[in-house]
Amino acid sequence: MRNDRPDREAHAAKPGLRDMLATSHVAAVAIAIFLIWSIDGFCQALWRPLSGILNLLATAVAILDVPYYSSTSTMKDRLDLDTALTFLGFAMFFLFAAWILSRWVYGMGPLRSLGECRSKLVGGKNA
């Protein structure tokens, strides 16, 4: 009789993708990069609205009065809104990717998993 199933001991000794990603710290680097890109996306999304507010406040201080502000929306306002929402979407995507990868490899959130990897590296267990 032919045995088509692989030997259980040989299969158990072969590490899975999760184990290889966790021990080689590739997943931790990817999670860190995703978090950095997410922070960058949030900063880019908030930059244009905050710069407009700061410009309005600086003008108000400079002229010691309330500056004129048109309540109608221009094409520039529409493009600024579209750009901000695009950056916000990318930031949410990268945050979600970091969370999913961290949960899949380490079984915990991204910041906690990066903290665990840092403590392992500083502790010298993997050096």
What is the extent of the structural domain holding 68? 22-120
Three-class DSSP category at 70? coil
Residue 6 within a domain: no
Overall pTM surpassing 0.75 (yes/no): yes
Long-range contacts of range 105-112, CB-CB < 8 Å, 24 or more positions apart? 105/18, 105/21, 105/22, 105/27, 106/22, 106/27, 110/31, 110/34, 110/35, 111/35
> Is 41 a member of any domain?
yes
Q: What is the pLDDT of residue 4?
A: 56
What integer is the mean pLDDT of 44-67?
93
pLDDT tens figures, 9-39: 555 567 888 888 888 889 999 999 999 999 9
Residue 20 neighbours by CB under 8 Å, 6+ apart? 26
> Does the pLDDT value for residue 99 go beyond 60?
yes
In a domain, 31, yes or no: yes
The verdict on residue 126 lying in a domain is no
Q: Across the chain, what does the average pLDDT equal?
A: 88
Q: Tokens for 54, please give them.
A: 């700061």
Report yes or no on 81 lying in a domain: yes
Number of separate domains in the chain = 1
Residue 113 CA to residue 17 CA, distance in Å, equals: 17
